[in-house]
Structure 1
Amino acid sequence: MARELIVEELNQTPVEKQGLEIVERKGLGHPDTICDLIFDRVAVELDREYRKRVGETLHFNVDKSLLVAGEVQTRFGGGEIKKPMLLVFGDRATSKVDEVEIPVAEIAVRTAKEWFSQ
């Protein structure tokens, strides 16, 4: 199966020669940042549990996630959560080796709750 390669010239001023560059900064409250920080902790906790239970790090991928917005009713000085956010874990991790079970889901949920409580 042949693929066609198309090369086109970009007719614009290079970024380094422009007077202004607009970029997106993902701060601490950005959903991508929240997911990255939580899943970094999940990876650490999974590794710790693997080494404790079986003596070595087992295979896992924990970098796919989705944070779905909730719903709030705001008011001056406070508000009310109508529908909480939903954090979706979309990856995989080894949950059993021989007869040794590793509570992957429990570790992930506990770690996420701890992160949000801090």
Structure 2
Amino acid sequence: MTDNTPESTDTPIAYTALTKGTPVLAEDGTQIGTVEHVLQDSTIDLFDGIAIHTGRGVRFVDADAVGRITTGAVHTTLTAQDAEALPEPQGTEVLDADPDEFGGNGLSAWFGRMFLREHWMRRKE
């Protein structure tokens, strides 16, 4: 007999292939939301997590809670109770990676690397 459950027919993919609107599932398979966007720094291949749309607004799922990503869904290790307690994204600004912002050997580059969060900049709207 062939197993046609979503878990057996979905092909695993990398986080870089995730698209907006992909279902996000709790560990029991119930849908807890849909992907809004992936939080990543592709220059250093860092997956931080995903922002998801839920019935209570946009929430953050940390990379540690993402079990596996397939063509059909993001399978998390969250229980339904964990999903209810997901935090809202922190801050009001959206940041993008900018590895060249504080590059070089100059004094301002050194201060940028020492006192600011390297690799991130404000997104231009």
User: Is the structural similarity TM-score above 0.5?
Assistant: no
Structure (1 or 2) with the greater strand fraction: 2
TM-score normalized with structure 2 length: 0.24
TM-score normalized with structure 1 length: 0.25
Structure (1 or 2) with the greater helix fraction: 1
Larger Rg: 1
